[in-house]
Amino acid sequence: EWTPDSFVETTIANLKEKLGDDKVVLGLSGGVDSSVAAVLLHHAIGKNLHCIFVDNGLLRKDEFQSVLDSYQHMGLNVKGVDAKQRFYDALSGLSDPEQKRKAIGRVFIEVFDDEANRIENVKWLGQGTIYPDIIESVSVKGPSATIKSHHNVGGLPDFMKLKVVEPLNTLFKDEVRKVGRSLKIDENILGRHPFPGPGLAIRILGEVTPEKVHILQEADAIYINNLKSSGLYDKVWQAGTIFLPVQSVGVMGDERTYENVVCLRAVESLDGMTADWCHLPYDVLAKISNEIINNVKGINRVVYDISSKPPATIEWE
Ligand code: XMP
């Protein structure tokens, strides 16, 4: 019978035998899968696991530092890499969603390759691939920023020529969470909503600029904090804020304003393939809207997305 504890025990033993004294490099994303994969590998090979966590400048407010801190508390050998400017430069002038995804994927691979090359004698690439990723290895919207392995292809970055170790590739998401609990990983990491690899770049419709990222991070933090404080965060599959490419007229004191609109999105889902919009209570929505408009400079209007998937998607891009 499968239990999280028995999975942890046999997986660590198998990893020890397979990897011996070899070094492994692994890219952490802050999400559940890469975190659980890293902790399993850490139990098996300790400091021979070299984790890389890239700040692409497209994460939620304060997310990079707080997630890096929790990784370090768990004892992981992790290097945080500030690559914000490289991502912003690559995104400059791009407004097509697929072009933005491609640029982010490309820069991620460049940054990861640079860092992996600094580790001497690394033999393996660790990945948090789970079973559904194998079935559906490329999302409908194109490859994610997660590294997917491709075998026997020339011209690859050096790290992609490494042997691949994927300790979670037989598990479904709920099993990964159970394994994570058995490993005593922080609920803060295990319980977090799914977040797309390209991050806030696909929640800013049109061209991404550091200014828009900043505005969206502030609005999003107010939204997520209110979901947490009202006990709704864990009832929602995924929530986020979208920066719309329109301006609208408002009034502030005696002044007429002409500023940006953000949209709140929250969905219920089992697997992300279909999703229903959440009927969040009006009083919670009212509080979030007031807080955003009163505190985030550049926003004078907040709307709520009442579309389900299909035919809408969860993300707007
Ligand atoms: P959609 O918008 O297709 O999203 O309904 C379904 C789920 O996939 C996530 N998503 C992505 N994740 N790279 C990712 O790593 C992407 O390019 C990407 N696009 C969407 C989305 O956040 C939701 O959880």
pLDDT digits (tens, 9 = 90+) for 94-125: 999 999 999 999 999 999 999 999 999 999 99
Mean pLDDT, the chain, integer: 93
In this prediction, residue 236 has a pLDDT band, given cuts at 50, 70 and 90, of very high
Q: Determine the Cα–Cα distance for residues 96 and 17; give it in Å rounded to an integer.
A: 46
Which residue in the block uniquely carries the two structure tokens 């990491």? Answer: 189
Q: Are residues 121 and 258 in the same domain?
A: no
Report the sign of the C-alpha dihedral through residues 38, 134, 194, 182, in that order: negative
Q: Are residues 174 and 38 in the same domain?
A: yes
CB of 29 closer than 6 angstroms to any ligand 1 atom: no
How far, in Å, is the centroid of ligand 1 from the Cα of 309?
Answer: 12
CB of 123 closer than 6 angstroms to any ligand 1 atom: no
Q: Is 89 part of a structural domain of the chain?
A: yes
Q: Is 142 part of a structural domain of the chain?
A: yes
pLDDT at 139 over 50: no
Q: Are residues 42 and 134 in the same domain?
A: yes
Q: Which atom of ligand 1 is nearest to the CA of 238?
A: 24
Residue nearest to atom 18 of ligand 1 (CA): 196
Residue ranges making up the domain that contains 295 = 203-304
pLDDT of residue 74: 93
Q: Are residues 178 and 260 in the same domain?
A: no
Residue nearest to atom 17 of ligand 1 (CA): 144
- Determine the residue type at 182: S
Q: Which atom of ligand 1 is nearest to the CA of 140?
A: 3
How far, in Å, is the centroid of ligand 1 from the Cα of 267?
Answer: 13
pLDDT of residue 160: 86
pLDDT of residue 7: 98
Q: Is 313 part of a structural domain of the chain?
A: no
pLDDT of residue 148: 45
CB of 128 closer than 6 angstroms to any ligand 1 atom: no
User: Which of 158, 190, 222 represents a domain boundary (last residue)?
Assistant: 190
pLDDT of residue 158: 87
Q: Are residues 36 and 175 in the same domain?
A: yes
CATH number reported for the structural domain that contains residue 231 in this entry:
3.30.300.10
CATH number reported for the structural domain that contains residue 28 in this entry:
3.40.50.620
Q: Determine the Cα–Cα distance for residues 150 and 197; give it in Å rounded to an integer.
A: 19
Burial bucket for residue 305 (CB in 10 Å: 0-12, 13-18, 19+): middle
Burial bucket for residue 234 (CB in 10 Å: 0-12, 13-18, 19+): exposed
pTM for the full model?
Answer: 0.91
Q: Is 24 part of a structural domain of the chain?
A: yes
> Which of 1-5, 150-154, 282-286 has the highest average model confidence (pLDDT)?
282-286
Q: Is 64 part of a structural domain of the chain?
A: yes
How far, in Å, is the centroid of ligand 1 from the Cα of 58?
Answer: 15
Q: Is 311 part of a structural domain of the chain?
A: no
Percent of the chain with pLDDT over 70: 94
Q: Determine the Cα–Cα distance for residues 133 and 59; give it in Å rounded to an integer.
A: 22
Q: Are residues 108 and 225 in the same domain?
A: no
Q: Are residues 37 and 73 in the same domain?
A: yes
Residue nearest to atom 16 of ligand 1 (CA): 144
Which residue in the block uniquely carries the two structure tokens 């430069």? Answer: 89
Non-local (6+) Cβ contacts of 91 within 8 A are: 100, 103, 104, 201, 207, 208
CB of 132 closer than 6 angstroms to any ligand 1 atom: no
Q: Determine the Cα–Cα distance for residues 166 and 133; give it in Å rounded to an integer.
A: 11
Q: Are residues 283 and 176 in the same domain?
A: no
Backbone angles phi, psi at 237, to 5 degrees: -70, -45
Q: How many domains does the chain have?
A: 2
CB of 169 closer than 6 angstroms to any ligand 1 atom: no
pLDDT at 138 over 70: no
Q: For the chain, how many residues are written?
A: 317
Tokens of 307: 């579309």
Helix and strand counts by DSSP (H, E) for the chain: 10, 9
pLDDT digits (tens, 9 = 90+) for 54-94: 999 999 999 999 999 999 999 999 999 999 999 999 999 99
CB of 197 closer than 6 angstroms to any ligand 1 atom: yes
Contact of 78 with 37, CB cutoff 8 Å: no
Q: Is 316 part of a structural domain of the chain?
A: no
Backbone angles phi, psi at 50, to 5 degrees: -110, 110
How far, in Å, is the centroid of ligand 1 from the Cα of 239?
Answer: 12
Contact of 292 with 262, CB cutoff 8 Å: yes
Q: Are residues 208 and 186 in the same domain?
A: no
Q: Are residues 248 and 299 in the same domain?
A: yes
Which CB contacts under 8 angstroms, 24+ apart, belong to 238-241?
238/193, 238/194, 238/195, 238/265, 238/266, 238/267, 238/269, 238/272, 238/275, 238/314, 239/193, 239/264, 239/265, 239/266, 239/267, 239/278, 240/193, 240/195, 240/203, 240/265, 240/315, 241/203, 241/216, 241/265
Q: Are residues 64 and 154 in the same domain?
A: yes
pLDDT digits (tens, 9 = 90+) for 182-207: 999 999 899 999 999 999 999 999 99
pLDDT at 37 over 50: yes
Q: Is 196 part of a structural domain of the chain?
A: no
CB of 35 closer than 6 angstroms to any ligand 1 atom: no
How far, in Å, is the centroid of ligand 1 from the Cα of 295?
Answer: 29
Q: Which atom of ligand 1 is nearest to the CA of 237?
A: 24
Tokens of 121: 């004698």
Q: Are residues 172 and 228 in the same domain?
A: no
CB of 305 closer than 6 angstroms to any ligand 1 atom: no
pLDDT of residue 156: 79
In this prediction, residue 31 has a pLDDT band, given cuts at 50, 70 and 90, of very high
How far, in Å, is the centroid of ligand 1 from the Cα of 275?
Answer: 12
Which residue in the block uniquely carries the two structure tokens 């997630």? Answer: 67
pLDDT of residue 3: 97
Percent of the chain with pLDDT over 90: 87
Residue nearest to atom 10 of ligand 1 (CA): 196
pLDDT at 32 over 90: yes
User: Which of 190, 214, 249 represents a domain boundary (last residue)?
Assistant: 190
- Residue-by-residue DSSP string for 154-198: SS--GGGGSEEE-TTTT--HHHHHHHHHHTT--HHHHTPPP--TT
How far, in Å, is the centroid of ligand 1 from the Cα of 59?
Answer: 14
